[in-house]
Amino acid sequence: MFLFCITSQVLAVTVTAPVHVEIVRFLTLLNTSGLEFGKVSASGAAGTVVVTQDGNRYATGGAAVDPSDRFTPASFIIQGRPNESFTVQLPDNLELFDQNGNKIVIENFQSSAEHTSLGPSGDMEFTVGGKLNLDPNQPSGSYSGTLVINVHYS
């Protein structure tokens, strides 16, 4: 009987690789005021009320506004990485409801975020306006809803 003994030599290899991580400031969005259309009157004809992102308000068709009543575009502050590019995603429309389930739709949202990058401080304020659509003889009431806006790094 023959016994063979084979030995093998294991070769060990060591390699290094660089490791890198970049910590970026979290992108946050703070709402400082809501979109306020103020007191609006509806007639027998359909109408609209627009609050622009630059703070103007006007009515068309069968809608009228109280010129002494308060109105304002929604206002936000973005905080993030200095000089970083971002995009603002606005909804296509938003439904508002009163306590009786009556509905009003807001559409054509516009943002004042003309710049798509944050400044050297990493902060930027912007406003959002929209167009409120009134049906003929829209029922009286206090209508409300929630505007959802998404902001993300580009």
Domain residue ranges of the chain, discontinuous segments joined by +: 34-153
Burial class (CB in 10 A: 0-12, 13-18, 19+), 22: exposed
The answer to whether 134 touches 49, Cβ cutoff 8 Å, is yes
Look at residue 152 in the predicted model and tell me its pLDDT: 86
Question: Among 103, 104, 31, 42, which Cα is nearest to 74's?
Answer: 31
Look at residue 13 in the predicted model and tell me its pLDDT: 83
- Is 9 a residue whose pLDDT tops 90? no
Q: Which two tokens stand for residue 80?
A: 């993030």
**Residue 134: which H helix or E strand, with range?**
strand 123-134
Output phi, psi for 54, to 5 deg.
-95, 10
The answer to whether 118 touches 83, Cβ cutoff 8 Å, is yes
Mean pLDDT over 39-66 rounds to 96
Between 72 and 24, the more confident residue is 72
The answer to whether 129 touches 50, Cβ cutoff 8 Å, is yes
Look at residue 136 in the predicted model and tell me its pLDDT: 96
Identify the three-state secondary structure at position 5: coil
Q: Which two tokens stand for residue 101?
A: 């389930």
Euclidean distance between CA atoms 38 and 56, whole angstroms: 12
pLDDT digits (tens, 9 = 90+) for 68-122: 999 999 999 999 999 999 999 999 999 999 999 999 999 999 999 866 889 899 9
Euclidean distance between CA atoms 88 and 151, whole angstroms: 5
Euclidean distance between CA atoms 95 and 143, whole angstroms: 9
Least confident range of 45-49, 96-100, 150-154: 150-154
